[in-house]
């Protein structure tokens, strides 16, 4: 049955991604984290985040850090080319990156590959779209749409990250 096969693929991918994240030492999904001295401290509960596949994790970590003000939280392995990484903004917005080869190897999902078709975007909310856009452009972002006011009450710009993913830079202009 086709639906059953798709459901199994989804479950395998989700489980493998979870194992990959947990296995790489991430504590972001935990409700507690240990400090070096053994003290237990609260960690933010994460209910999910976008996962972007890439051929160069280090390039993506660098771009999201320099162009969009994210903090690099995790890079694996510590030495050599990264195959997995996590960035965050404001302690509440996380994006993970993994290489196409890594996700194919650990999930068995052989169809994961770079595509020219983009049907979604990563939305990054900022206080000042024009400043964030200029910073992203100076960091090498490919510009798709310069900042402009939208009739639904947002000021938006669109860029592409180094892997070609659409990134919306946005702020609300109406209360």
**In the chain, % of residues over pLDDT 70:** 71
CATH assignment at residue 73: 3.30.720.120
Q: Do residues 98 and 36 share a domain?
A: yes
User: For position 117, what pLDDT does the model report?
Assistant: 80
User: Are 73 and 89 within one domain?
Assistant: yes
Question: 39-71 burial by CB neighbour count: b if 16+ within 10 A, else e?
Answer: eeeeeeebeebebbbbeebbbbbbbbeebbebe
pTM for the whole thing?
A: 0.68
Binned at pLDDT 50, 70 and 90, residue 95 comes out as: very high
Domain closes at, from 111, 133, 166: 111
Compute, in degrees rounded to 10, the torsion defined by CA atoms 104, 27, 121, 97: -40
What are 7-38's pLDDT values in tens digits?
333 333 433 333 333 333 333 333 334 344 44
The more confidently predicted of residues 136 and 175 is 136
pLDDT the model gives residue 175 = 53
For the chain, what is the domain count?
Answer: 2
What is the mean predicted confidence (pLDDT) over 74-91?
A: 95
pLDDT score of 111: 83
Q: What is the pLDDT of residue 112?
A: 83
Expressed as residue numbers, the domain containing 25 is 1-111
| Whole-angstrom distance, CA of residue 160 vs CA of residue 163 | 7
Average pLDDT estimate for 77-90: 95
Local structure of 17: helix, strand or coil:
helix
DSSP 36: T
Task: Report the range out of 37-41, 107-111, 160-164 with the highest average pLDDT.
Answer: 160-164
* Same domain as 17, residue 85: yes
Domain endpoint, select from 73, 91, 111: 111
- pLDDT at residue 34, rounded to an integer: 39
pLDDT at 129 over 80: yes
Mean per-residue pLDDT, 102-121: 84
Residue 165 contacts residue 52 (beta carbons within 8 Å): yes
CATH of the domain at 152: 3.10.180.10
């Amino acid at each position: 049955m086709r639906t059953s096969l798709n459901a199994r693929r989804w479950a395998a991918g989700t489980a493998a991604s979870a194992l990959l994240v947990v296995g790489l030492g991430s504590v972001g999904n935990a409700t507690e984290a240990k400090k070096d001295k053994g003290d237990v401290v609260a960690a933010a509960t994460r209910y999910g985040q976008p996962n972007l596949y890439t051929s160069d994790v280090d390039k993506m970590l660098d771009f999201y850090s320099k162009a969009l003000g994210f903090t690099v939280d995790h890079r694996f392995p510590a030495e050599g080319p990264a195959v997995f990484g996590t960035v965050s903004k404001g302690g509440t917005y996380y994006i993970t990156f993994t290489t196409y080869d890594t996700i194919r190897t650990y999930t068995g999902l052989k169809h994961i590959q770079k595509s020219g078709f983009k049907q979604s975007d990563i939305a990054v909310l900022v206080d000042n779209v024009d400043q964030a856009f200029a910073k992203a452009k100076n960091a090498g972002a490919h510009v798709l749409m310069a900042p402009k006011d939208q009739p639904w009450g947002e000021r938006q710009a669109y860029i592409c990250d180094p892997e070609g993913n659409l990134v919306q830079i946005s702020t609300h202009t109406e209360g």
